[in-house]
Amino acid sequence: MAYVIGVDVGGTFTDAFAADDKGNVHSAKVASTPPDFSRGVLGSIDALADNIGLDVGDLLRDTAYICHGTTSTLNALVTGDVAQVGFLTTKGHRDSIYIMNLEGRYAGLGQEEIQNITATRKPAPLIPKRRVKEIIERIDYKGSIIVALDENAATEAIRELIAEGVESIAVSLLWSFRNPVHEQRLRELVHQIDPSIYVALSSEITPRIREYARSVTTVMSAQIGPPLRSYLEPLATDLHDRGLRGKLLVMQGSGGTVAADEAPKHGITTIGSVLTGGVIGARRLGQQLGHKNIISTDVGGTTFLVGLVVDGDPVFSSTTILNQYELNVPMMKVATIGSGGGAIAWLDPGGNLRVGPRSAGARPGPACYGQGGSEPTVSDANLVLGILNPDYFLGGTKKLEVELARQAIKSKIADPLGLSIEDAAAAIFEIQNAQTADLVRTVVVGAGHDPRDFVMYAFGGAGPVHCAAYGADLGVKEVLVPLGQTAAVFSAYGLATSDVVLSVELSDPANFPVDAETMERNFTQLEEEVSKRLKAQDVEFQSISLVREADIRYTMQIFEVPTPVPPGRIDDSAVQVIADNFEERYASLYGAGTGFREAGLQIITYRVFGTGTLPFKPELPKHESQGGSGSPAPKQTRRAMLDGRSGWMDVPVFDYRVLATGTELSGPSIVEAQTTTVVIPPGTSAIVDDLGNLIIRYR
Amino acid sequence: MPFIPVPGSEVFSSRIRSREQIQNSVGDSVSLHHAKPDDVEQLDALSYEVIRHRLWAITDLMGQALKRMSGSLVVTDCNDFDVAIADEFGDIVQVGPYNTELAASVDLAIKWILENRADNPGIYEGDMFLCNDPWVGGGLHQNDVAVLAPFFHDGKLFAWTAAVAHQADLGGVSPGSWTPRAEDVFWESLPTPPVKIVENSRIRRDVEDVYLRRSRVPKMVALDLRAKVGANTVGQERIRELIGKYGADVVKAAMAKQLDDAESRLRAKLEKIEDGTWSATCYQEQSMKDDRNVHKIVCTLTKAGSDLLFDFTGTGPQSGMINTTFSGMYGGILAGVLPGLCGDIPWATGGLRRCISIKSEEGTLNNATFPAAVGKGSVASAWATMNAVTECISKMVDTSIELKREVQSVCCGTWQLCVMAGLDQRQQPFATMLTDSMGGGFGAGVDHDGVDTGGLLLIPMGKMPDVEMNEFVLPMLYLWRREETDSGGPGRFRGGVTASLCFVPHDTPVPMMQVISGAGKTVSQNVGLAGGYPGSSQVDIAVRSSNIEELFSKGIIPSSLEEVDGDLQILACEDEALLSPGDLHYMSWQSGGGYGDPLLRDPKSVAYDVAELRVSPESARNIYGVVLQEPGFEVDADATEQLRSEMRQIRRSRAQKAGV
C-alpha cells in the first residue's frame, strides 16, 4: 500500500487528505495551532492515521510524499516577523523600493478604498533607508560595464551592515539580469567577511527587467528565507523521525510543489501556498469530469477567492501584489474579491444598505455565533431567512442563535430603514449575491473571458448557499458543488493531486524580429537550469515536461502578454510563429483588431516551466449513499426565502448523506451537508453525480 | 498682441444649463425617458444598492475595455482617461476612478449635444458623438477626445455613456499638439465640436477621416477611437441587461436616487461646517516662451448652509498658452471637490453639482474666450484651478472638528512636461514624454504626513515607469532617481517628499530635442495649511558639455550637480532646448505642502525623518527646531525645547519690527 497526503493549513483549521493506490481516500480536520503551525500539521496526520485505522508510523512509512500548503512565509511577511535584511543596490537607485513607482499607494486595494484617495497610504517600508547601501558600479541596458564595481567601498558597506547585525543580505543592481558579475562578486565579498550570511541575488531570484519588483522580490526572499528554513527543517525532521520515508513537498503559488529542503532558496515562491490548493483541486476534478473551463469560487468565513481554469490549465499571472508591493512571482491568478459569510451589513452615511467589504472574521464572527459579535453579517441574514439550520451548522457541531441574528439585523438595519427583519435579511442576501456576481464578472472579463463559457465550482463553507444565485447572474452553464469525499478538505485534496513545478526566467529585451540564435540560446540555458533544479529536488518523477513561454508586447505598451513558445530548435520561421502566437493571444485577450501592429513587437522575458509528474494521482471513489435508491424523503420542511422574487415558501430540506447518485432535486430545495448548505432556488434543479457532487442547472 | 474675439464662436461656449432649459431646446425632436418621482420615492433599499453597485461595476468594465483596447501609453500606463454613465439629461451618475478631471465635464458636452444636435442631425439609437472642443466640454484641452453615446430604451433616450482619453497628437504646429509658442488656438489642434462619428452602430468613415487627417499618428488615434467606441458598447450592453432584469423605471429611479443621494450626502457634510468664506490664489509664471510675467487664479469659496459658491473674481486675463475654458475650470473644481469632500460619497457629479455654483468672468485665465490658446489648459489653468479649489476646501473643512481628518494640503501643483525627440539606441527616430514626474508628493493632513512620492491627486491610479524600462526604450542613462531630502513642505505634519532624476544621453549619436513645459519654478503652487510651509518647487537644470565620461572612467558616479564640471543652465517654465551627448539633464517635480507649524512637530517624528533621509539634520534644526545627537539621531529634548523657544522669540521680534 502507498499513500499520498495533502495538508492544507488555514487560519482556523488544518485539513489533511490521504489517498492510497487502491482508490481509497480519507480525510481529517483539526484546529490550526498558531503561531507554530507545524504542531497542527503533525496533529492532522495523527488524526488521519486514526481515521484510516493505522498507527501513524505505519502510515508515514507507506507514504510516498506529503504536499504541504503553508502560510508561514505569507504570515511572516504580513506580520513583519522576518529576518533582518541589509540591501545592496546601485548608487543613485536606493529609493526605488520606497518610490514603488508610486503605484504602491494603491496597488491591491479595492475600488472604494482607491476612490477615498486622501486616505490611501503606502505600506510600511521593507527596510530602513540607512540599511540600504548604495554600491558604486553601473551596467547599462546592453550589459556593458559603465562604471566598475568599487570593491573597497562595497566591502566597507557590507562590514557596516554586518556590524549592525543583519542576518541576510539582498543584492539587486540595475541590469544585473543582463550581466550578473557585480552581484556575484558582491556575494563573494559578503562571504569573505562572514560565510554564514544568507545572500539573495536578484539575478538568481528573478532575472527579470524592471528593478522595482525585482528588488522587492529579492529583499522579501532574503527576509523569509531564514524563517522558512527554520520552520521546514524541524518539521521535516519530525516527520522523518516518525517514519516518513518519502519527501516533504511544499506547495507554491504556482500550484506546483517544491521539495522542502530546496524551498528556502527560493522561498518567495511559497507565498501563495495556501491560496492555490482550491484551484488545483478544481482543475483535477475537472479533468475527471471533463470540464475544461472552470470558475473556482472558494468562500470561507473571512475570504472569497476566485480562480480560473481555462482549457484545462489554471490562469497565471507573472506578478503578484503583497502588502501593496509588486512581486515577480509567477503565480496562479487567485483574486480575493470580498469577505465571505462574515461580510458585515451596514448603513452608509446616506442611509443606504451596504454589504462588506469589512468582515466580522472568525472572532467575534457573525452575531449568531454568540461570540460577542453585534454586527449583522451575511451568515446572520441566511439564518433569518431559514437557509441555514441553527441545529445543523457544521453538521450540528456549532449551534447558531437565531435571536442574536435577528437582533443584530433589527437594530443595525431593519429599524433604521423601516423594514421588517425578514425583508432586511432578504435584502442583505440579494445584495451579497449581486455584488459577488459583479466582482466575479470583473475577474473573468479582466482575464479576457466570457463567464458564459464556464462551469462554476463552488466550495468553502459559505459558497454553496449563494452560488446558484450569482451563477445565474453571471450566466454560467452550470454550477458544481463538490460534495463527495473531498468536500470538507477540498484544498487538501488539491495539494495531494499536484506535481512538482519550477519556473526559471530571464529578461533579454529585444525588438522583433529577434535573432533566432539568441532565442535558442536563452531557452536552452533556461531548460538546462530548470532540469538541474528538478534533479536537485531528489524526488522520483514519472515524467518531466518543459514548457517555454515568452513575455511579448507591442512596443508602445507597458504590459507584456505571456505567449506560448513551441518546443524544438528555434529558427527564423519559429520566431515568426512566436510573433503570430502573440498576436493571436493578444486578440483573444483584448478583442480582434485591437493590436497596434505598426508599433512593432518586443520580447522582454523568457521563461521555462519544468513539471515533474509525481507517480500517482488519487482518483476519487464513487459516491456511496446511506439512503436507498429512488426519490429521497426530505428530513424536514421549513419556511425559507431562497430569493427575493419568490418570497417565503415551504422548502423541503434534504440530508446529503441519503442522496444517491442520479437523484434529481428541483428547486426550491435545500441540501444540508456536514460542511455546508446548498441552496437550490426555484427555477433550478440539481442532480447528484457519480462522485457525489451536486450539479445545479438552470431551467 | 491684441486679442480679437471671433463672432459666432459663442455658440460653442458651454454653460451649466437647467433640465428645463434643455428640455425646451430638445422639444419633440427626441423623446426622453424620465424617472417617475413615485418610483424614486418607493425604490427599495435592495434594488437601489444592487443597481448602484452594478452601475459602478459597469464603469469599471468600460474602463478595463478602453484600457485593454488602447494602443497609447498615456492611457494604458498613466491612466489619462476616464469613463462615465449619465442620465438622459447628461447628469453624471457615476464616473470612473481614472483621470477625474476628464470625466467631470462630460455633462457639459452631453447637454450641448442635446441642445444643438437634437433636431439636426438628430440623436438616434446606434449613434455616438465625438468631441474634442474644450469650449463645449468633455475634456480639458483638444488632446482629450470624448466619445459620447446616447442609450435608448423603447425608443426613448434613457441615458448616456461616455469615454474620454488623451490622444498623443492631433495636429497643430508642434508634435503633441501644444507649443510654448502658441499665440492662439490656431497654432494648436483644431477643436471639433460634437460630430456623429458612429451612426447605426457603425463608424462613419468620412467623419473618421476628417478627424484622423489632422494627426501625426493617425493609426494610433484610430485604434483609440475604436477603444472608446468599444468601451461605450460594453457599457450599453450591460445597462441593457440591467434593464432586462429590473425594468427601465426601476433602473432609472436608482439613477435618480444616486444623484439625490450624492447631493444629500454632500449637503449633510457641508451642514456640519460653519458658514464662511475662504480664499486662495494660485500663481503660474510665464504664459508662453519668453514671457516674464506671473499670472494668478483667485478663488474665493463661500459656504452658506449646504451651498458652495466658487468665485474666481480677480483672476488674471487670458494670456499666452496656459489658458483653459469654462469646462476646464469646471473640471478643475470637480477634481478638487471629489477627493477633497467626496472620498466616501458616490461620484455622481450630476448630483454633487447641485451644491455648487460658479462665478467667473469671461476672458480670464480659466474662462478663456475663443480663440485663446488652450492646448496646455489641462495641466496649466485647469490644474491651477484645482489647486486653488483644494486649498479653499481644505481650509473650510479644517474648521470642522468632526471632518478635519479629511483635510489634505495641496499636492504636487502641476505637471512637469519633458518631451524628447531624437534617434534612439537602435538608430530609430523617437518622440516621447517622460512620465517619471507622475510621482509627486501628497499634501499633509491634520493627523498624518503626506504620502511620499504618492502621485497626483487628480489621477487616483497613476504609475511611474521603471528606470530600466526607460533605459531600454530610450537612449538615456540615469545617474539617479531618488526621493529628495527636505522636499516635503515642513509642518507639524510634513508634506510628502517628491523625487528627482538626473540622466545623460546614452548611445545616441545626435542631440535630442526637448520641449520643457511646467510651472511653479519660482512660486509655490503646493502651499501649506494652518501654518505649514509650501513644498518644493519644480526644477529643470541642464549641464552642458560635462565631464561625465571622465568621471565614469575614474569610477565616480556623481550624486549632485556640484560634483560635475560643465556649464550649468537653468531652464525656464516654457522652454525648448537641445540635449547633446555629454550633457546632463536634472529635473525635480513638486512635493506636497505641510500642515501646521513645524515647531509643533513631534521631535521623534523629525528624528525618524532624519534617520530615513527625508529631512536633513540641518533642516531638523533650522526649520523644525529639533536638536539631534549623533549617532542614532536621538532627540536632545532639553536643547530642542530651548532652540524652539529661541525660534519663537525671533518670530515675535520679527513681527514687532514689521509693525504687526
Segment A427-456 shows an average pLDDT of: 87
A583 touches chain B (CB under 8 A): no
Q: How many domains does chain B have?
A: 3
CB A89 within 8 A of CB A132: yes
Between chains, do B97 and A118 touch, taking CB under 8 Å as contact? no
Q: Picking from A67-71, B97-101, B292-296, B402-406, which range would have the lowest pLDDT averaged per residue? A: B97-101
**Interface mutation vs chain B, best among A97, A117, A553, A597, most B CBs within 10 Å:** A117
- Chain B residue nearest residue A132, CA to CA: B612
A114 touches chain B (CB under 8 A): yes
Q: Report if residue B290 sits inside a domain.
A: no
Question: Beta-carbon neighbour count of residue B329 at 10 Å?
Answer: 31
Three cell numbers written together for B402: 468632526
Q: Is A249 found in the same domain as A179?
A: no
Cα distance between residue B384 and residue B519, in whole Å: 10
- The β-bridge partners of A172 are A89
Cα distance between residue A124 and residue A534, in whole Å: 36
Q: Is B69 found in the same domain as B102?
A: yes
Q: Picking from B109-118, B163-172, B361-370, B587-596, which range would have the lowest pLDDT averaged per residue? A: B163-172
Q: Report if residue A634 sits inside a domain.
A: no
Q: What is the CA A442 to chain-centroid distance, rounded?
A: 18
Per cent of chain A over pLDDT 70 is 96
Question: Beta-carbon neighbour count of residue B550 at 10 Å?
Answer: 11
Segment A483-511 shows an average pLDDT of: 85
Q: CA of A348 to nearest chain B CA: how many angstroms apart? A: 9
CATH number for the domain including A549? 3.30.1490
DSSP B491-531: SSBPPPP-EEEEEEE-S-SSPEEEEEE---SSS-SS--BTT
Q: In this predicted model, what pLDDT tens digit does every residue of A652-679 receive, in sequence order?
A: 999 998 899 999 999 899 999 887 899 9
Q: In this predicted model, what pLDDT tens digit does every residue of A272-329 receive, in sequence order?
A: 776 777 888 899 889 889 999 999 998 877 678 889 999 888 888 888 888 899 998 8
Cα distance between residue A404 and residue A375, in whole Å: 10
How does B241-266 read in b/e, with b if 16+ C-beta sit within 10 Å?
ebbeebebbbbbbbbbbbbbbbbbbb
Q: Is B173 found in the same domain as B49?
A: yes
Q: Is A598 found in the same domain as A517?
A: yes
Q: Report if residue B243 sits inside a domain.
A: yes
Q: A70: number of CA atoms within 13 Å, CB side?
A: 35
Question: Beta-carbon neighbour count of residue A397 at 10 Å?
Answer: 8
Three cell numbers written together for A273: 501556498
Per cent of chain B over pLDDT 70 is 99
Cα distance between residue B417 and residue B489, in whole Å: 22
Q: Is A526 found in the same domain as A560?
A: yes
pLDDT at A362: 67
pLDDT at B101: 79
Q: Is B624 found in the same domain as B515?
A: no
Interface of A with B in 292-351 (CB under 8 A): 348-350
* Residue finishing a domain among B267, B292, B322: B267
Helix axes B326-341, B248-271, angle to 10 degrees: 70
Q: In this predicted model, what pLDDT tens digit does every residue of B539-563 receive, in sequence order?
A: 999 999 999 999 999 999 999 999 9
pLDDT at A138: 98
Three cell numbers written together for B606: 523629525
- The β-bridge partners of A7 are A16, A68
Q: Is A154 found in the same domain as A123?
A: yes
Q: Report if residue B327 sits inside a domain.
A: no
Q: In this predicted model, what pLDDT tens digit does every residue of A343-383 receive, in sequence order?
A: 899 998 888 888 887 888 767 889 999 988 899 999 999 99
Interface of A with B in 403-432 (CB under 8 A): 417, 419, 426-427, 430-431
Cα distance between residue B174 and residue B433, in whole Å: 13
Indicate the SS3 state at residue A273: coil
pLDDT at A125: 93
Instruction: Give residue B299's pLDDT band: very low, low, confident or very high (50, 70, 90).
Output: very high
Instruction: Give residue B585's pLDDT band: very low, low, confident or very high (50, 70, 90).
Output: very high
Q: Is B495 found in the same domain as B446?
A: yes
DSSP B20-56: HHHHHHHTTSSPBP---HHHHHH--HHHHHHHHHHHH
Q: CA of B520 to nearest chain A CA: how many angstroms apart? A: 21
CATH number for the domain including A28? 3.30.420.40
Segment A143-162 shows an average pLDDT of: 97
Q: Which amino acid is at A503?
A: S
Three cell numbers written together for B78: 498613466
Indicate whether A31 pLDDT > 90: no
* Residue finishing a domain among B233, B252, B267: B267
Indicate whether B1 pLDDT > 60: no
Over chain B, what is the mean pLDDT? 93
Q: Is A86 found in the same domain as A186?
A: yes
B333 touches chain A (CB under 8 A): no
pLDDT at A556: 65
Between chains, do A350 and B264 touch, taking CB under 8 Å as contact? yes
**A214, exposed or middle or buried, with CB in 10 Å at 0-12, 13-18, 19+?**
buried
Indicate the SS3 state at residue B205: helix
Cα distance between residue A170 and residue A268, in whole Å: 13
Q: Is B617 found in the same domain as B491?
A: no
Q: How many domains does chain A have?
A: 3
The one-character DSSP state at B451 is P
Nearest to B72 among A106, A556, A598 (CB): A556
Q: Picking from A272-276, A595-599, B57-61, which range would have the lowest pLDDT averaged per residue? A: A595-599
B477 touches chain A (CB under 8 A): yes
Q: A507: number of CA atoms within 13 Å, CB side?
A: 30
pLDDT at B618: 96
Q: Report if residue A10 sits inside a domain.
A: yes
* Chain B environment of A99 (Cβ under 8 Å): 439, 453, 464, 481-483, 499
- CA B192 → CA B75, B100, B365, distances in Å? 21, 22, 21
Q: CA of A487 to nearest chain B CA: how many angstroms apart? A: 31
Three cell numbers written together for A416: 433604521
B44 touches chain A (CB under 8 A): yes
Cα distance between residue A249 and residue A246, in whole Å: 9
**Interface mutation vs chain B, best among A141, A149, A173, A216, most B CBs within 10 Å:** A141
Segment A644-658 shows an average pLDDT of: 90
Give ipTM to 2 decimals: 0.93
- The β-bridge partners of A20 are A3
- Chain B residue nearest residue A97, CA to CA: B482
B96 touches chain A (CB under 8 A): no
- Kindly give the pairing relationship between strand A325-327 and strand B512-517: unpaired
CB B158 within 8 A of CB B248: yes
How does B109-137 read in b/e, with b if 16+ C-beta sit within 10 Å?
bbbbbbbbbbeeeebeeebbbbbbbbbbb
Q: Report if residue A275 sits inside a domain.
A: no
Between chains, do A556 and B73 touch, taking CB under 8 Å as contact? yes
CB B457 within 8 A of CB B411: yes
Cα distance between residue A117 and residue A554, in whole Å: 32
Instruction: Give residue A339's pLDDT band: very low, low, confident or very high (50, 70, 90).
Output: low
Q: Is B623 found in the same domain as B483?
A: no
pLDDT at A332: 84
Between chains, do B453 and A100 touch, taking CB under 8 Å as contact? yes
Angular region, B427: left φ>0, alpha ψ -120 to 50, beta rest? left
Q: Is B251 found in the same domain as B116?
A: yes
Q: Is A118 found in the same domain as A14?
A: no
Interface of B with A in 503-542 (CB under 8 A): 506-507
Q: Is A532 found in the same domain as A583?
A: yes
* Residue finishing a domain among B213, B234, B267: B267
Tell me phi and psi for residue A133, to 5 degrees: -110, 130
Q: Which amino acid is at A274?
A: V
Q: Is B588 found in the same domain as B653?
A: no
Instruction: Give residue A104's pLDDT band: very low, low, confident or very high (50, 70, 90).
Output: very high
Q: In this predicted model, what pLDDT tens digit does every residue of B170-189 receive, in sequence order?
A: 999 988 888 889 999 999 99
Indicate whether B660 pLDDT > 60: no
B355 touches chain A (CB under 8 A): no
Q: Is B500 found in the same domain as B454?
A: yes
Q: Is A196 found in the same domain as A87?
A: yes
Segment B285-306 shows an average pLDDT of: 95
Residue closest to B188 by CA, chosen among B207, B169, B208: B169
- CA B474 → CA B325, B504, B508, distances in Å? 35, 11, 9
Three cell numbers written together for B117: 444636435
Instruction: Give residue A495's pLDDT band: very low, low, confident or very high (50, 70, 90).
Output: confident
Q: Picking from A297-301, B198-202, B574-578, which range would have the lowest pLDDT averaged per residue? A: A297-301
Indicate whether A590 pLDDT > 70: no
Indicate whether B590 pLDDT > 90: yes
Indicate the SS3 state at residue B348: coil
Range of the domain at B48: 29-267
**CA dihedral in degrees (A516, A522, A525, A529; nearest 10)?**
-140
Cα distance between residue B411 and residue B278, in whole Å: 18
Cα distance between residue A585 and residue A587, in whole Å: 5
Cα distance between residue B597 and residue B648, in whole Å: 11
CATH number for the domain including A88? 3.40.50
pLDDT at B2: 59
Q: Is A129 found in the same domain as A161?
A: yes
Instruction: Give residue B593's pLDDT band: very low, low, confident or very high (50, 70, 90).
Output: very high
Interface of A with B in 632-661 (CB under 8 A): 644
pLDDT at B453: 97
Instruction: Give residue B505's pLDDT band: very low, low, confident or very high (50, 70, 90).
Output: very high
User: What is the distance between the terminal CA atoms of chain A, rounded to a whole angstrom?
Assistant: 46
Interface of A with B in 594-613 (CB under 8 A): 594-596, 598-599
The helix (run of H) or strand (run of E) holding residue A653 is: strand A648-655
Indicate whether B638 pLDDT > 60: yes
Q: Is B230 found in the same domain as B95?
A: yes
Nearest to A115 among B343, B438, B467 (CB): B343
Q: Report if residue B562 sits inside a domain.
A: yes
B463 touches chain A (CB under 8 A): yes
Range of the domain at A213: 81-223
pLDDT at B325: 97
pLDDT at A71: 73
Indicate whether B495 pLDDT > 90: yes
B467 touches chain A (CB under 8 A): yes
* Chain B environment of A555 (Cβ under 8 Å): 473
CB B292 within 8 A of CB B303: no
A590 touches chain B (CB under 8 A): yes
Question: Beta-carbon neighbour count of residue A543 at 10 Å?
Answer: 10
DSSP A373-403: --S-BHHHHHHHTT-S-TT-BTTTTB---HH
Q: Is A262 found in the same domain as A130?
A: no
Indicate whether A24 pLDDT > 60: yes
- The β-bridge partners of A249 are A67, A259
**A290, exposed or middle or buried, with CB in 10 Å at 0-12, 13-18, 19+?**
exposed
A152 touches chain B (CB under 8 A): no
pLDDT at B657: 66
A355 touches chain B (CB under 8 A): yes
- Greater confidence (B50 vs B9) lies with B9
Between chains, do A209 and B426 touch, taking CB under 8 Å as contact? no
Q: Is B547 found in the same domain as B618?
A: no
Instruction: Give residue A610's pLDDT band: very low, low, confident or very high (50, 70, 90).
Output: very high
Q: CA of A142 to nearest chain B CA: how many angstroms apart? A: 9
* Chain A environment of B426 (Cβ under 8 Å): 511
Q: CA of B479 to nearest chain A CA: how many angstroms apart? A: 6
Cα distance between residue B87 and residue B164, in whole Å: 17
Q: Report if residue B377 sits inside a domain.
A: no
Cα distance between residue B521 and residue B236, in whole Å: 45
Q: CA of B509 to nearest chain A CA: how many angstroms apart? A: 17
Q: Picking from A97-111, A161-175, B530-544, which range would have the lowest pLDDT averaged per residue? A: A97-111
Q: Report if residue B248 sits inside a domain.
A: yes
Indicate whether B659 pLDDT > 60: no
Q: Report if residue A15 sits inside a domain.
A: yes
**A278, exposed or middle or buried, with CB in 10 Å at 0-12, 13-18, 19+?**
buried
Cα distance between residue B135 and residue B369, in whole Å: 9
Q: Grid cell 527576509 — which residue? A: A223
Q: Is B460 found in the same domain as B498?
A: yes
Q: Report if residue B363 sits inside a domain.
A: no
Q: Is A207 found in the same domain as A123?
A: yes
Longest CA–CA span in chain A (Å) reads 84
B622: CB partners within 8 A, 6+ apart = none
Indicate the SS3 state at residue A29: strand
Cα distance between residue A270 and residue A224, in whole Å: 10
pLDDT at A585: 84
Indicate the SS3 state at residue A415: helix
Q: Report if residue B178 sits inside a domain.
A: yes
The one-character DSSP state at A497 is T
Count of pairs with CB atoms under 8 A, one residue in A, one in B: 235
Instruction: Give residue B473's pLDDT band: very low, low, confident or very high (50, 70, 90).
Output: confident
Interface of A with B in 115-134 (CB under 8 A): 115-122, 125, 128-130
Q: Is A149 found in the same domain as A202?
A: yes
Over chain A, what is the mean pLDDT? 89
Question: Angle at Cα A581 formed by Cα A580 and Cα A587, nearest 5°?
Answer: 90
pLDDT at A517: 95
Cα distance between residue B533 and residue B546, in whole Å: 35
A547 touches chain B (CB under 8 A): no
Three cell numbers written together for B607: 528624528
Q: CA of A699 to nearest chain B CA: how many angstroms apart? A: 17
Segment B200-212 shows an average pLDDT of: 95
- Beta strands (DSSP E) in A119-218 are 132-135, 138-139, 145-147, 168-172, 198-201
Nearest to B464 among A101, A118, A136 (CB): A101
B464 touches chain A (CB under 8 A): yes
